[in-house]
């Protein structure tokens, strides 16, 4: 057995320093602050044969009774006897003098400096001197101490306090780094606003549950919740109010779920909940409880106002909804879509067919790449004489089975998926080729209207491509184009809501080239006359909802008459949409509306694939 080193040995200091230096790199690798402190204690015990006991405590400075939480060394039995108290607390220590000395330990929880060592009264364990090393920073990961005992009365004076101070600072830094890593890990798994799991964390959990369900033939239920009309709350009350609504909704959701359930913030105002072992009937009942909990408590916006919040919830279950995670998410998303489409503040269980965003994104992408996204042209006639004067290009998706999907079934999803610009671009290019074909065939010139979204306008590379294509067609057609370019772009008031100057900037490339503009859906509830006054519109398309009421609603007729008179004064042509019967057409003619479109005059007609470009010049059809 190796004899213990003498405290007066000149190598003792370097041996202790080297031992602590060697352990420093290991401290920095630990992930848990508690593990770092335990390694710190073990290192000190092995640094010198004269160090007989090291123990640690982590806690609040105001603790009434301090008990060691970890001890190392031959004399660790002494640590087991310690219960260091203040203010008359019960004390269990070998001697009164030791207790009085150890009361100083509590004081060091408040101090940052390492105190001078003192003599102990624990000689029955061979302990002669003690040194206390405090650690932790106010407001940090907590305060604590490490008490180091040696078997010589002057051990710490002989070795010096610097190695212990340096090692303490190193351990302190390692603990702070470990705490920071833990915080970053929590930030990666917990959403800061809602306190729920992040989307990525929930995806990891879902993968595990799906794999378990496939192995063990078990199931679970998903709830996808969405705050109804959240954008209106944000726009009317501000983003801070929106944050309060998200946080309050998350709190209500947590309170309604079971302890074994998982909840995450799945998107901006969406929440996804995983209910282990829950069948669909039970999941739907729990979803109703969640919906009621959110609706039953108005959200305080912090400024004396409160807002009532409701949520829509989709429900889907394994194994009923499908065997893969992607299928399950598609079904629950589809159920949520149905809940919102059915009036909101509802719970809907997934059906067998899921026309979800996940499926729709793939459908749109494939349709564009396979040339299955095509325009159908609806005739527009001059009301005064019934002559065909224009066509509107309406997007249609040709499905793989040959059936047509109308725009109303995929345009909203395309906007949510930020794919609207690709649809607009594809339809507008084909419409340009259709114009070129008619011009080269020597047919009477027709105006072609194409509805676009603000999403296209915010992709300048696509706008530049369209302008370049229009220039190529005009250059190839020469004088046959006529005084006015046949293409007109329609944009709805909904798309223009916002900054007027920004709207002007986005529309300028088309207007500067001479492509005329039409304001679509005027009178649909978003009417803002200053757009008509400030932007260079040539056409005003009157909403079909307003047109449908004019034969039975005198007020509707008066409103439409006022719109017509305003448009005439401004030199803008009016086009009434949704004309389906002769009585409506007669009333519109009496009012003086210029052009009309609707099923009375013809339904949208899809051309054969490639027909729009037939006869077009190569430069235009490329």
What band does 125 get if pLDDT is binned at 50, 70 and 90?
low
Q: Whose structure tokens read 């194994």? A: 319
- Token pair in block for residue 552: 């039975």
Residue 112 burial (CB count, 10 A):
12
Based on its alpha-carbon atoms, the radius of gyration of the chain, rounded to whole angstroms, reads 38
pLDDT, tens digit (0-9, with 9 covering 90-100), for 89-110:
334 444 344 444 555 555 555 5
576 and 542 Cβ atoms separated by less than 8 Å: yes
For range 120-147, the mean pLDDT: 68
Give CA–CA dist 271/250, Å, rounded: 8
More confident residue, 55 or 118: 55
51 and 44 Cβ atoms separated by less than 8 Å: yes
For range 122-130, the mean pLDDT: 71
DSSP per-residue letters across 87-113: TT-----S-HHHHHHHHHHHHHTT--S
58 and 109 Cβ atoms separated by less than 8 Å: no
Nearest to 527 by CA among 551, 550, 490, 559: 559
Nearest to 562 by CA among 540, 580, 536: 540
145-159, 240-254, 320-334: range with lowest mean pLDDT: 320-334
Distance of CA 254 to CAs 137, 197, 221, 362, 558, Å?
33, 11, 16, 34, 53
Residue 305, phi then psi, degrees to nearest 5? -105, 155
Write 20-23 long-range contacts (CB < 8 A, 24+): 20/44, 20/47, 20/163, 20/166, 20/167, 20/170, 23/167
Task: Determine which helix (DSSP H) or strand (DSSP E) holds 11, and give its type and residue range.
Answer: helix 11-29
Task: Provide the percentage of residues in the chain whose pLDDT is more than 90.
Answer: 29
Task: Determine which helix (DSSP H) or strand (DSSP E) holds 57, and give its type and residue range.
Answer: strand 51-59
Give CA–CA dist 39/58, Å, rounded: 14
Give CA–CA dist 99/88, Å, rounded: 12
Residue 110: Cβ-neighbour burial (10 angstroms; 0-12, 13-18, 19+): exposed
For range 506-518, the mean pLDDT: 89
Is 228 in a helix, a strand, or coil?
coil
More confident residue, 590 or 329: 590
Q: Whose structure tokens read 């930020």? A: 418
For range 193-214, the mean pLDDT: 87
Residue 250, phi then psi, degrees to nearest 5? -60, -40
Give CA–CA dist 99/65, Å, rounded: 12
Give CA–CA dist 178/172, Å, rounded: 10
144-148, 158-162, 355-359: range with lowest mean pLDDT: 355-359
pLDDT > 70? residue 415: yes
Give CA–CA dist 263/195, Å, rounded: 10
Residue 461 burial (CB count, 10 A):
8
Distance of CA 408 to CAs 312, 368, 414, 570, 602, Å?
21, 17, 10, 32, 18
Give CA–CA dist 145/133, Å, rounded: 6
pLDDT > 90? residue 168: no
Task: Determine which helix (DSSP H) or strand (DSSP E) holds 428, and give its type and residue range.
Answer: helix 420-440
Residue 49: Cβ-neighbour burial (10 angstroms; 0-12, 13-18, 19+): middle
Nearest to 154 by CA among 129, 187, 183: 129
What band does 216 get if pLDDT is binned at 50, 70 and 90?
confident
Omega of the bond prior to 157 within 30 degrees of 0, cis?
Answer: no
- Token pair in block for residue 347: 């719970």
Residue 122 burial (CB count, 10 A):
24
pLDDT, tens digit (0-9, with 9 covering 90-100), for 7-64:
445 577 777 777 777 766 666 665 666 777 788 788 888 888 899 888 888 766 555 6
pLDDT > 50? residue 618: no
- Token pair in block for residue 530: 């200053």
94 and 120 Cβ atoms separated by less than 8 Å: no
Domains of the chain in start order, with CATH, are 11-187 (3.30.450.40), 199-354 (3.30.70.270), 360-602+610-621 (3.20.20.450)
Strand-pair partners of 480: none
63-67, 138-142, 155-159, 492-496: range with lowest mean pLDDT: 138-142
Average pLDDT across the chain, whole number? 80
- Token pair in block for residue 363: 């459908």
579 and 547 Cβ atoms separated by less than 8 Å: yes
């Amino acid at each position: 057995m190796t004899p213990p080193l003498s405290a007066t040995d000149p190598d003792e200091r370097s041996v202790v320093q080297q031992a602590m230096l060697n352990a420093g790199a290991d401290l920095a690798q630990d992930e848990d602050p508690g593990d770092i402190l335990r390694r710190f204690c073990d290192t000190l015990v092995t640094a010198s044969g004269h160090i007989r006991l090291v123990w640690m405590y982590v806690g609040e400075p105001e603790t009434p009774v301090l008990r060691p939480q970890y001890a190392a060394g031959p004399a660790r039995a002494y640590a087991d006897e310690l219960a260091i108290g203040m203010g008359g607390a019960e004390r269990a220590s070998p001697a009164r003098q030791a207790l009085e000395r150890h009361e100083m330990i509590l004081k060091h929880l408040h101090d940052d400096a390492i105190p001078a060592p003192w003599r102990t009264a624990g000689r029955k364990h061979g302990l002669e001197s003690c040194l206390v090393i405090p650690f932790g920073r106010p407001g940090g990961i907590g305060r604590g101490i490490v008490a180091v005992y040696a078997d010589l009365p002057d051990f710490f004076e002989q070795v010096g306090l610097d190695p212990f101070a340096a090692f303490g600072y190193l351990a302190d830094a390692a603990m702070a780094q470990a705490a920071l890593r833990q915080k970053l890990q929590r930030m990666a798994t917990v959403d800061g606003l809602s306190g729920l799991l992040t989307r990525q964390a929930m995806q990891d959990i879902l993968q595990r549950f799906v794999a378990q369900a496939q192995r063990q033939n078990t199931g679970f239920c998903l709830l996808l919740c969405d705050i109804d009309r959240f954008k209106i709350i944000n726009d009317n009350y501000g983003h801070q109010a929106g944050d309060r609504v998200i946080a309050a909704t998350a709190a209500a959701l947590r309170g309604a779920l079971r302890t074994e359930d998982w909840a995450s913030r799945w998107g901006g105002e969406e929440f996804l909940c995983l209910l282990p072992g829950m069948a669909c009937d039970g999941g739907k009942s729990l979803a109703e409880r969640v919906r009621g909990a959110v609706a039953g408590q108005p959200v305080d916006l912090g400024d004396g106002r409160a807002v009532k919040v409701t949520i829509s919830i989709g429900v889907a279950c394994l194994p009923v909804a499908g065997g893969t995670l992607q299928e399950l998410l598609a079904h629950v998303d589809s159920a949520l879509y149905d809940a919102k489409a059915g009036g909101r503040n509802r719970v809907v269980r997934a059906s067998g067919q899921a026309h979800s965003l996940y499926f729709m994104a793939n459908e749109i992408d494939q349709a564009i790449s396979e040339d299955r996204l095509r325009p159908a042209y609806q005739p527009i006639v001059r009301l005064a004489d019934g002559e065909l004067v224009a066509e509107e290009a309406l997007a249609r998706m040709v499905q793989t089975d040959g059936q047509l999907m109308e725009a109303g079934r995929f345009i909203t999803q395309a906007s949510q998926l930020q794919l609207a610009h690709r649809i607009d671009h594809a339809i507008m290019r084909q419409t340009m080729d259709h114009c070129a074909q008619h011009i080269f065939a020597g047919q009477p010139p027709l105006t072609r209207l194409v509805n676009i979204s603000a999403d296209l306008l915010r992709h300048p590379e696509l706008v530049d491509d369209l302008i370049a294509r229009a220039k190529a067609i005009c250059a190839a057609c020469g004088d046959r184009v006529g005084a006015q370019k046949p293409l007109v772009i329609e944009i709805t008031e909904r798309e223009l809501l916002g900054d007027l100057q920004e709207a002007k900037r986005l529309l300028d490339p088309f207007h500067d080239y001479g492509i005329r503009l039409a304001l679509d859906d005027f009178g649909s509830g978003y009417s803002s006359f200053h757009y008509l006054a400030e932007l260079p519109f040539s056409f005003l398309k009157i909403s079909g909802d307003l047109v449908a009421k004019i034969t039975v609603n005198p007020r509707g007729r008066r409103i439409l008459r006022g719109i017509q008179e305003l448009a005439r004064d401004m030199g803008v042509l009016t086009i009434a949409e949704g004309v389906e019967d002769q009585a409506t057409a007669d009333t519109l003619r009496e009012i003086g509306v210029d052009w009309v479109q609707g099923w009375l005059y013809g339904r949208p007609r899809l051309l054969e694939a490639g027909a729009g470009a037939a006869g077009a010049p190569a430069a235009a059809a490329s």
